[in-house]
Structure 1
Amino acid sequence: MYLDDPNRKLLEIDTDTRQGPVIFRWLTLGMEYLIGVILVALIVSVSCNVVGRALFNNSLPWADELARMLFVWLVFIGAAAAFSRYEHIAVDALVRRLPLRIAHMLYLLQHLIITGLMVVMIWGGYQVLSRSSGRSAIMDVPLSFISLSLVLCVIFIAVVSIWRMWVSLNVIRHPEREH
């Protein structure tokens, strides 16, 4: 049984089946590898701290700070990769029963809202980045580096969303054409 919405298939980015623009596929694949590297680094950082506390009764001050930074990057890169692959939770009971053209009208509205929200978040993220002058207490990393993960994530989501609006517009205008 096919669990995904067949109307949405045109909007998906899949690195396995080579569906979607090549730049989005490469960026998604790169993000997925980066997620793996960050996850390993996060596990190593937390494990070092646990071992240090348990065996030597001494925690590593940098390990907690590094784990927090890695977790923030992991969340935002993961959100962008999941959005790219259409893996966020969605209620699609209505849209899967609609004809292709009407479904894409709803997808167009959905991605118009998403793009609008991402533009607001890009602006807010830029404000945070431009005012962020501090550094982390232990590792002396610029705090703007942590905020950068949000900005990069929402820029990627906005660009993918704009591409999906374009695809939906083409389906709405020419539903009979094979897209």
Structure 2
Amino acid sequence: MFITSVKNNVDRFVAIILVILMALMVINVSWQVASRYIFQNPSAFTDELARYMLIWVGMLGAAYVAGKDEHLAIDLIQAKLSFKNQLIVKIIIHVCVMIFAIVAMVIGGTNLVYITFILDQTSAALEIPLAYVYIIIPISGLLVIFYQAESIMNLSSNLKTS
């Protein structure tokens, strides 16, 4: 299937970005600790950079985990349902997640990026536009929508065959 191939490529790309961000975050925080306690000269930007990288890792990681369908879930009731009803409940859940991603992450995140860009808000230490930090919210929202749509298509095809 074409969509599965695209999903695998998107998964691989997002995973690589997450690994790079985590590695850079470890280096950044290590430098922060070294500059503060070893050199007695704390770095001015490392704390802020770590905070912004954590936002990116958290948002991208949430989208990635949603795509892998490994997010936190309580499925006690769902496990007691028949296979067909389980598929229906999963489709409903994916639609709800997709609606949340559209409204909160894409629309709300885009508004946040737009407002911070228009107001020309910059970070204190790095002096970069905060719109660059917040752009990950609608990007992650688009990823969540893509992943949920792919899951809905797979579940729907399983529902038709059952």
With the length of structure 1 as denominator, give the TM-score of the two structures. Answer: 0.81
1:120 equivalent among 94, 103, 106: 103
Question: RMSD of aligned C-alpha atoms?
Answer: 1.7
Which deviates further from its counterpart, 71-80 or 157-166? 157-166
Matched residues in 2 for 1:56 and 1:167: separation? 55
The yes-or-no answer on 1:170 pairing with 2:157 is: yes
Name the structure 1 match of 2:75.
92
Name the structure 2 match of 1:152.
139
2:92 equivalent among 104, 109, 131: 109
Determine helix, strand or coil for the equivalent of 1:61: coil
Going from structure 1 to structure 2, the CA distance change for 1:175 and 1:102 (only over 3 Å counts) comes to farther
The yes-or-no answer on 1:44 pairing with 2:44 is: no
Q: Which amino acid aligns with 1:128?
A: L
Determine helix, strand or coil for the equivalent of 1:115: helix
Q: Which amino acid aligns with 1:163?
A: E
Matched residues in 1 for 2:93 and 2:53: separation? 31
The yes-or-no answer on 1:33 pairing with 2:16 is: yes
1:63 equivalent among 43, 46, 49: 46
Name the structure 1 match of 2:127.
140
Superposition deviation, residue 175 in structure 1: 3.0
Matched residues in 1 for 2:11 and 2:36: separation? 37
Matched residues in 1 for 2:150 and 2:91: separation? 10
Q: Which amino acid aligns with 1:71?
A: L
Superposition deviation, residue 171 in structure 1: 2.9
- Structure 2's unaligned 5+ residue stretches are none
Superposition deviation, residue 23 in structure 1: 1.3
**Percent of aligned pairs with the same residue?**
18
Superposition deviation, residue 140 in structure 1: 2.0
With the length of structure 2 as denominator, give the TM-score of the two structures. Answer: 0.89
Q: Which amino acid aligns with 2:107?
A: W
Q: Which amino acid aligns with 1:93?
A: L
Q: Which amino acid aligns with 2:77?
A: L
- Structure 1's unaligned 5+ residue stretches are 1-17
